[in-house]
Amino acid sequence: MKQLQQGFTLIELMIVVAIIGILAAVALPAYQDYTVRAKVSELILQASGFKTTIAEKAQTDAALGAAGVGLTVCYSGKVTGGSVSDGGIIMIQGSTAATSVGKDVSVTLTPTFQADGKLTWACSAGDTATFKYMPAECRH
């Protein structure tokens, strides 16, 4: 009677290890970009308080001229810098620090007061190198 072979051969195990290595080499950079994008979303979330204040002031004055007067960005959480212009333009920055975003990222939120009284926001990246880290609302 013949005995049946059991288990895997060395070459089969090496092929499986090579496939896992290739998958890990592709997945790790994609995952790192994903985590930075999630942190950049936190920057935009922290700017949402300013968006509300600017929108209220613009509706009251029917213009954006003084919508951002007196607003100051506090450096907390992922935010490492930023400013709000008198016209309501919000600029928020994140840095390469481990406690921040992990990349030098700058997000600019620009309001536009429409003729019918609506306020719309345009989101843009500070430069083209950080465009891939922007959330979906900023990638139009």
CA distance 89 to 72: 12
- Examine the pLDDT at 83 and tell me if it is beyond 80: yes
Give, for 60, the enclosing helix (H) or strand (E): helix 10-61
- Examine the pLDDT at 4 and tell me if it is beyond 80: no
Phi and psi angles of residue 100, each rounded to the nearest 5 degrees, phi first: -105, -140
Structural domains for the chain: 10-138 (3.30.700)
Q: What is the pLDDT of residues 7-46, one digit of tens each?
A: 889 999 999 999 999 999 999 888 888 888 888 888 888 8
Q: Which residues fall within 8 angstroms of residue 139, CB to CB, at 6 or more apart?
A: 131
**Opening angle at CA 125, ends 132 and 133, nearest 5:** 25
CA distance 103 to 96: 4
The percentage of the chain sitting over the pLDDT mark of 90, rounded to a whole number, equals 34
Can you give the pLDDT at residue 115? 85
- The pLDDT-based confidence of 110 (bands split at 50, 70, 90) is very high
Work out the average pLDDT over 119-123: 92
Average pLDDT, the chain: 88
Torsion of the alpha carbons at 38, 39, 40 and 42, rounded to the nearest 10 = 100
CA distance 121 to 135: 14
Q: What is the pLDDT of residues 122-139, one digit of tens each?
A: 998 877 888 888 888 887
**Opening angle at CA 134, ends 69 and 46, nearest 5:** 40
